[in-house]
Amino acid sequence: MMEERTEIADLGEFGLIEHLTKNFEIHNVSTVLGVGDDAAVIDHFGKQTVISTDLLLEGIHFDLMYTPLKHLGYKAVMVNLSDIYAMNATPTQITVSIGISNRISIEALNEFYEGIYIACEKHGVDLVGGDTTTSQKGFIISVTAIGEVTPDKFVKRSTAQKGDLICVSGDLGGAFLGLTLMEREKGIYLENPKVQPDLENESYIVGRLLKPEARKEVIDFFEQNDIVPTAMMDVSDGVSSEVMHLCKQSNLGCRIYEDKLPISDESRQAAYKFGLDPTVCALNGGEDYELIFTLKQEDHDKITLNEEISVIGYMTELEEGSKIITKGGNTFNITAQGWNAFKQ
Amino acid sequence: MMEERTEIADLGEFGLIEHLTKNFEIHNVSTVLGVGDDAAVIDHFGKQTVISTDLLLEGIHFDLMYTPLKHLGYKAVMVNLSDIYAMNATPTQITVSIGISNRISIEALNEFYEGIYIACEKHGVDLVGGDTTTSQKGFIISVTAIGEVTPDKFVKRSTAQKGDLICVSGDLGGAFLGLTLMEREKGIYLENPKVQPDLENESYIVGRLLKPEARKEVIDFFEQNDIVPTAMMDVSDGVSSEVMHLCKQSNLGCRIYEDKLPISDESRQAAYKFGLDPTVCALNGGEDYELIFTLKQEDHDKITLNEEISVIGYMTELEEGSKIITKGGNTFNITAQGWNAFKQ
């Protein structure tokens, strides 16, 4: 049976937008006008609007050789929702713009939008606009997420206080180990296309890479338990890089404890298999899309029953520097080895 | 003297964002939090928020061979502000994401952001966020514009009524003729780099292409004169394409009069020089970024004194079709030959 393939030129830009967005229903009363006009209209009376945007490029941020398009659509939404949650806000709308080469068929784009649709459904978010165009090379994705927050309840990066606990949700390093695995399997496949990829027992780290989850439940937990973090951001570049941002923007130092870093068994085993140090993967691996936040010490009891939250250290005076204390008791300066898109 | 060139890798992503955005001041009280966190925070209490986004790609939407980066930054903002004005709304914030190859220096990016800055200043808009990344090929620009409008005063494309006047601001076809000129000069230059471009007397059409102006003054005029168009959109793909959108979305037909199409003397002369029909350029040329809108007939007297507004026709019943009446009195169906990014 031949695979179906419809060329995008057959639909034209407006036909394409209509085709791709017709199944999206509106979830938010704040969405006054969605896709199909010059702009969308949003009504956030009595709330503040939060906005964040990300540009994802083929060959830089994703590799279509091992990234199914449905996962890519899902992830493109999640990484933006993660930024909205990182403000202690609730995402309500997104816009999605794409640049596509003629290598991509309508069927492939359907897959991509199916992933966007699932992500939107899961988080109650409305797709309200976007732009589609051809690209000369590579698949280009630009997502903007809009959210709402009760006035002045948003949480910045710059407002941590000395003595605050540093916490992270979930576990760290998994996405980086998933990437390491996929890159290794890709290399093997390119050398010998007959070798089938060996992903058995690796579904956890592969899932962390290909299908990250924005941590809505952490924000919900804060609200239910009357917790307002003193500072927060999402873990996209690696926790060492994010800790440095919190310190720099709050004008403080920190102490992080190696033995407190949450690392899953699957990640630990994968790290050993690849000859990597699990701690280094947890500190410097990016794309986990967990939340890192600081809490007043008196809020400690409120989080102890939440197994998804780990206290990994505390904020200090600026003069005490940003340091990690190893399991062996040694102290090192933290260096932000976060992924720098300009130095590959 | 050597031209200065600073590599982007020397700054890193966060240094780059700081460098590029440090001169942008906040103009709107609604901008609660701008660049530098996971997301921006906007406070539009009592107003509705309008949002629009565009993706601009090198080689598809612009050619760096004849597009100065300062103009490109300016235009990237203007095309988005144009969408906000087309909703009868006032732009208040933008986000700008860029993908850049290592071909582009900091000095070149400074030029680009200088253009963004001038556009923002001119329209009182705040730059509140964005994303920067490397691209493997070409300069990629994604701009999202946010605006505000008095509740339910926004104007859609779908609400024109039978008998309404069809109006456009400014004049048409100039940007297309500017593009035709630049492409012709580029061809001559590539064949013989010693030939200097002949742009004398062509500054009007070149300006229409490289430095379009979003039509804030038309929206201001509506407000001052208590005019609310029944439908509106901006002219980005060509007036014939936009007229078809208004008809289709409003479920109506139309009559357009060739002799009413506003065409500048400069555009008319350039068209003759290139052996083109000025009417075809006005109907099918894109990127003029004028506003096309429909008005109740009783509002006609309110616009007669505004020389910037031309009445080009009127809306009819759907069954009467979408037709243009030529100077010679012939009637033809309007075909939307607007620029289709998927069929080049």
Structure confidence by residue, pLDDT tens digits, B160-185: 999 999 999 999 999 999 999 999 99
Same domain flag for A136 and A260: no
Give, to the nearest 10 degrees, the angle between helix A174-191 and helix A203-210: 100
* Residues on chain B touching A12 (C-beta within 8 angstroms): 340, 342-343
Domain end, chosen from A118, A149, A180, is at: A149
Structure tokens at A331: 């102290």
Same domain flag for B122 and B220: no
Nearest CA among B247, B239, B227 for reference residue B312: B239
Contact A128 B39 (CB under 8 A): no
Q: ipTM of this predicted complex?
A: 0.90
Contacts of A43 (CB under 8 A, 6+ apart): A29, A30, A31, A32, B48, B49, B151
> In the block, which residue shows the tokens 């085709």?
A19
Structure tokens at B224: 């001052």
> Tens of pLDDT along chain A (344 residues)?
456 777 777 777 777 778 888 888 888 888 888 887 888 888 888 899 999 999 999 999 999 999 999 999 999 999 999 999 999 999 999 999 999 988 888 889 999 999 999 999 999 999 999 888 999 889 999 999 999 999 889 999 999 999 999 999 999 999 999 999 999 999 988 888 887 777 777 899 999 999 999 999 999 999 999 999 999 999 999 999 999 999 999 999 999 999 999 999 999 999 999 999 999 999 999 999 999 999 999 999 999 989 999 999 999 999 999 999 999 999 999 986 644 444 43
Cβ–Cβ < 8 Å for B162, B317 = yes
DSSP state at residue B299: G
B297 belongs to a structural domain = yes
* N- to C-terminal Cα separation, chain A: 42
* Residues on chain A touching B134 (C-beta within 8 angstroms): 57, 60, 341-342, 344
Cβ–Cβ < 8 Å for A144, A52 = yes
Of B13, B157, B342, the CB nearest to A37: B157
Of A39, A140, A149, the CB nearest to B83: A39
B96 belongs to a structural domain = yes
* Class of residue A304 by CB neighbours under 10 A (exposed 0-12, middle 13-18, buried 19+): exposed
**Beta bridge pairs of residue B97:** B131, B142
B65 belongs to a structural domain = yes
Structure tokens at B29: 């009280």
Same domain flag for A169 and A137: no
Residue B343 main-chain phi, psi, to 5 deg = -130, 80
* Residues on chain A touching B289 (C-beta within 8 angstroms): none
Query: What residue of A is the nearest CA neighbor of B156?
Result: A37
* Domain that residue A299 falls in: 165-333
Same domain flag for B61 and B209: no
Instruction: Count structural domains, chain A.
Output: 2
Q: For position B172, which CATH number holds?
A: 3.90.650.10
pLDDT of residue A15: 77
CB environment A246-255: b (16+ within 10 A), e (fewer): bbebbebbbb
Domain end, chosen from B119, B149, B179, is at: B149
* Residues on chain B touching A156 (C-beta within 8 angstroms): 33, 37
Same domain flag for B88 and B237: no
**Beta bridge pairs of residue A54:** A143
Same domain flag for A219 and A317: yes
pTM summary value: 0.91
Same domain flag for B59 and B31: yes
Nearest CA among B246, B224, B248, B250 for reference residue B312: B246
The nearest CA of chain B is from the CA of A207 a distance in Å of: 24
Contacts of B41 (CB under 8 A, 6+ apart): A48, A49, A50, A51, A87, A149, A154, B31, B32, B33
- Determine the longest span between alpha carbons in chain B, in angstroms: 68
Same domain flag for A55 and A203: no
Same domain flag for A12 and A143: yes
A2 belongs to a structural domain = no
Same domain flag for A186 and A310: yes
Q: For position B98, which CATH number holds?
A: 3.30.1330.10
CB pairs under 8 A between A and B: 232
B160 belongs to a structural domain = no
Residue B344 in this model has a pLDDT that exceeds 60: no
Within 13 A of A268's CA, how many CA atoms are on the CB side? Answer: 7
In this structure, of B20-24, B243-247, B297-301, B303-307, the range with the lowest mean pLDDT score is B20-24
Same domain flag for A201 and A111: no
pLDDT in tens, B180-194: 999 999 998 888 888
Of A40, A55, A136, the CB nearest to B142: A55
Contact B341 A133 (CB under 8 A): yes
CA distances to A199, B139, B179, B192 from B186, rounded to whole Å, are 52, 19, 10, 10
B300 belongs to a structural domain = yes
Domain end, chosen from B120, B149, B178, is at: B149
DSSP state at residue A185: H
Same domain flag for A132 and A240: no
* Residues on chain A touching B291 (C-beta within 8 angstroms): none
A344 belongs to a structural domain = no
Please tell me the distance from the alpha carbon of residue A175 to that of residue B209, in angstroms, as a whole number: 45
B218 belongs to a structural domain = yes
